[in-house]
Structure 1
């Protein structure tokens, strides 16, 4: 008897639970939104047409000086003159530094006295040889001594010339490493001169776009610091070798004149337009959905959105070329695809 009562209680509990679950399911189903299959979805469309496409690529880079050099003396010594300051404009041949050459001049003076003595000896030997009073070998030895002394004088004169250090080209003193009175050794840097009369904009161009450039090509250069100004540039170098990412440095030389002065290190950009050949079927980029490997578009046919697979070719900032899957004149959906399924009724806005 007791078992029967327990069994009946268990059955009652299971029945109550099942009834509760069914009741909750009905309530949930009533709350779930069910789209009306006949309700039209508003979308925006565009017409697939034949176009002459132009592909515009923008590249960002930075300016480097036209020329830059560290001034290094060929001789060593103490700096006796240093008439430059950082930021100073200097012309080609302008004195940068002068090394103390007083000792070298004293040596030349001593050698000149020695040379004069040899030359006097040579005259005497020449007269004595005529009278057989001395052997001719004395003349040869004196002539060799004269030549040796002259060579020593030339070496010292070259060292004196090296003690005067001048600017190899016009530019700005961008760094001064020493002060007057410093002792420098041959090859140690004393100043840096930068020529920004023209600048080189260096941009990294990917492999697929490198054929859009050629040496001598003129381009318009824009900058962040002068957003309303355009600078005329000319391609002067295209690297023969790219980096690990298959980017190739391209140099565009810009003449730096006028009121908008550029400086090395500033950012600059170019926009190169590559005109694609012939007319081609194109649609706006917004119409493409899916992935690049499996692109798709919604086409409006008889008031419904029909999903179609397409193949794309060339691309620009605004359009995709369609090589297969569409015909000219069809309407493609450019906005509202998120609300569509294949066969959804639509109305174009």
Structure 2
């Protein structure tokens, strides 16, 4: 009797479980979205048509000075004059610093006395040699001594000239490293001169756009600090080798303006417009779906969205050139593709 009750209980439990599973399945299926095959999906469309494509690309860079140099003396010593200040505009050949050259002048004076003695000896030996009163070798030695002393005087004079330190070109004193009374050694930096009468704007151009530029080309330049001012630059250099990211430095020179003065380190940008030489079939960028290797789009045919594979040519910020897959006049979907499948009924807007 107990066995029969146990079997009946198991059968009832299994039946209850089965009923629960069937009921849950019905509830789940009721919640699943089932698209209405006859319901139209609203989409936005555009027409594939011939266009003169052009793309304006902007490249940002920063201005660097035309010339910049650290002034370093070729002589050492104490600075006795330093008539410059940071921010001062100086011309070419302007005195930057004067080193103490008193000891060098004393050496020149001593050598001149020695030279005078040799020259007097030379006159006496010339007379004595004529009368065979002294060997000719004494005359030759005196002549060599005169030449040696003259060479020493020239060396000291060069050292004296090196104690006067001047600017190699016009510019602005952007840094002063020493003060009057400082003792400097040969090659120690004294000041920095920066020439910004002409500036260089260096921008990085990617490989795909580098052939749009050439040396000597004039380009408009836009700056953040003077958004309404117009500057024109000329390409002076295009790098022969790019970096690891295949970007190539392009250098554009621009003359500084007194009305809108530029400074080294400011940002500037150039805009280059790349125009196709002919009309080309194109669609808005929003129409393209899929991957870059296998681009696709939906074309409206007889009220249905038909998925087609296409081939892409030139691209701009707004359009893709289509070289294969659609024809001029085709209506392509540009919005709402996420709700589409091949053959979906659509309502075009």
Q: TM > 0.5 between the two?
A: yes
TM-superposed deviation, 1:311: 0.8
Indicate yes or no: 2:102 matched with 1:108.
no
Give the Cα–Cα distance (whole angstroms) in 2 for the partners of residues 210 and 30 of structure 1: 60
Per-residue CA deviation, residues 127-179 of structure 1 (Å, 9 max, x unaligned), is: 33344443333332222222111111111111111110100011111222222
2:255 & 2:331 partners in 1: Cα distance?
49
Preserved contact between residue 104 and residue 160 of structure 1 (Cα < 8 Å): yes
Residue of structure 1 equivalent to 2:157: 157
Shift of 1:72: 0.9
Map of 2:69 onto structure 1 = 69
For the pair 1:330 / 2:330, whether they are aligned, the reply is yes
**CA displacement at 1:4 relative to structure 2:** 1.3
Q: Post-superposition shift, 1:83?
A: 1.3
- Taking only aligned residues, the RMSD between alpha carbons, in angstroms, comes to 1.7
- Larger deviation: 105-114 or 162-171? 105-114
Q: Distance in 2 between matches of 1:114 and 1:5?
A: 142
Aligned partner of 1:340 in structure 2 is 340
Give the aligned partner of residue 8 of structure 1. 8
What is the rounded CA distance, in whole Å, between the counterparts of 2:52 and 2:40 in structure 1?
Answer: 35
Cα separation, partners in 2 of 1:63 and 1:43, compared to 1, 3 Å: same
CA deviations on 1:88-114 (whole Å, 9 max, x unpaired) are 221111111111111101111111122
Contact 1:55 1:276 in 2 (8 A): no
Whole-Å separation in 1 of the counterparts to 2:229 and 2:8: 92
1:140: which partner in 2?
Answer: 140
Question: What residue is the counterpart of 1:181 in the other structure?
Answer: 181
Residue 304 of structure 1 and its aligned partner are, at CA, apart by 1.5
Which residue of 1 is the match for residue 268 of structure 2?
268
Distance 2:7 2:258 in 1: 102
| Superposed displacement of residue 228, structure 1 | 2.9
Quick check: 313-322 or 52-61, which moved more?
52-61
Matched with 1:168 is 168
Q: Which moved more, 1:18-27 or 1:70-79?
A: 18-27
Gaps of 5+ in 1: none
Q: Deviations over 1:288-330 (max 9, x none)?
A: 0111011111111111211111110111111111111001110
Measure the CA separation in 1 of the matches of 2:39 and 2:172. 73
Distance in 1 between residues matched to 2:167 and 2:312, nearest whole Å: 58
Of 324-333 and 14-23, the range deviating more from structure 2: 14-23
SS of equivalent residue, structure 1 residue 44: strand
Structure 1 residue aligned with 2:314: 314
User: What is the distance in 2 between the residues matched to 1:104 and 1:72?
Assistant: 20
Matched, 1:224 2:224: yes
Q: Does structure 2 retain, via aligned residues, the 8 Å contact 1:197–1:256? A: yes
State how 1:46-125 maps to structure 2 within 5 Å. 46-125=46-125
Please give the alpha-carbon distance, in whole angstroms, between the structure 2 residues aligned to 1:236 and 1:272: 16
Establish whether residue 29 from structure 1 lines up as the match of residue 32 from structure 2.
no
Match of 1:293 in 2: 293
**Structure 2: tracts of 5 or more residues without a match:** none
Q: What corresponds to 1:196 in structure 2?
A: 196
- Residue 216 (structure 1) shift: 0.2
In structure 2, what is the Cα distance between the partners aligned to 1:135 and 1:5?
A: 154
Q: Deviation per CA, 1:155-205, whole angstroms, max 9, x where unpaired? A: 111111111010001111122222211211111211111111111111122
Shift of 1:243: 2.0
Deviation of 1:247 (Å): 1.9
User: Structure 1 residues 36-45 or 107-116, which shifts more?
Assistant: 36-45
Normalised to the residue count of structure 1, the TM-score between the two structures is: 0.94
1:235-274 deviation line (CA, Å, top 9, x unaligned)? 1001112222222211111111133222222222222122
State how far apart, in whole Å, the 2-side matches of 1:34 and 1:174 are. 75
> Matched residues in 2 for 1:24 and 1:99: separation?
100
Alignment length (residue pairs): 349
Question: Match of 2:344, SS?
Answer: coil
